[in-house]
């Protein structure tokens, strides 16, 4: 399978999450849905605000180094309950665990094709 820019970026984000102990890492392919604001969501959770910030920092650094991509905008860093990082075609969601369970993005976007990253790789 030929690696596309999207697949390299998704793997870079997922690896950066896993490297900093992100849990339940997955991506949702939103392209077939047609009503979404981006092509992909990449989602993970962590048990503390400190860990959420650490994951966001690692993603920002790895995307710049490996993919030459700067984050377009980022929100949520000040409280670290839920950080959203916008890379235009990819939107990254880093939740504290309880907020991920509450918002359940995977259920809201259940029509999207999900790819899980981590232990089973």
Q: Any idea where the domains of the chain sit in the sequence?
A: 5-107
Predicted confidence band of residue 9 (pLDDT cuts 50, 70, 90): very high
Indicate whether 81 pLDDT > 80.
yes
Indicate whether 66 pLDDT > 50.
yes
Angle between the N-to-C axes of helices 5-19 and 49-67, in degrees from 0 to 180, rounded to the nearest 10: 140
Please write the tens of the pLDDT for every residue from 92-110: 999 999 999 999 999 999 9
- CATH class label, 5-107: alpha beta
Indicate whether 67 pLDDT > 80.
yes
Vertex 115 angle, CA 22 and 10, to 5°: 65
φ and ψ of 91, to 5 deg: -115, 125
């Amino acid at each position: 399978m030929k690696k596309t820019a999207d697949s390299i970026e998704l793997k870079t984000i997922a690896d950066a999450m896993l490297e900093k102990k992100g849990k339940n890492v997955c991506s949702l392919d939103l392209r077939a849905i047609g009503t979404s604001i981006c092509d992909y969501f990449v989602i993970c959770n962590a048990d503390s605000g400190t860990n959420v910030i650490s994951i966001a920092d690692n993603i920002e650094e790895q995307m710049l180094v490996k993919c030459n991509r700067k984050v377009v905008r980022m929100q949520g860093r000040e409280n670290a309950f839920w950080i959203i990082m916008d890379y235009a075609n990819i939107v990254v969601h880093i939740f504290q665990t309880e907020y991920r369970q509450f918002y359940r993005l995977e259920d809201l976007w259940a029509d999207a094709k999900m790819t899980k990253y981590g232990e089973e790789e």
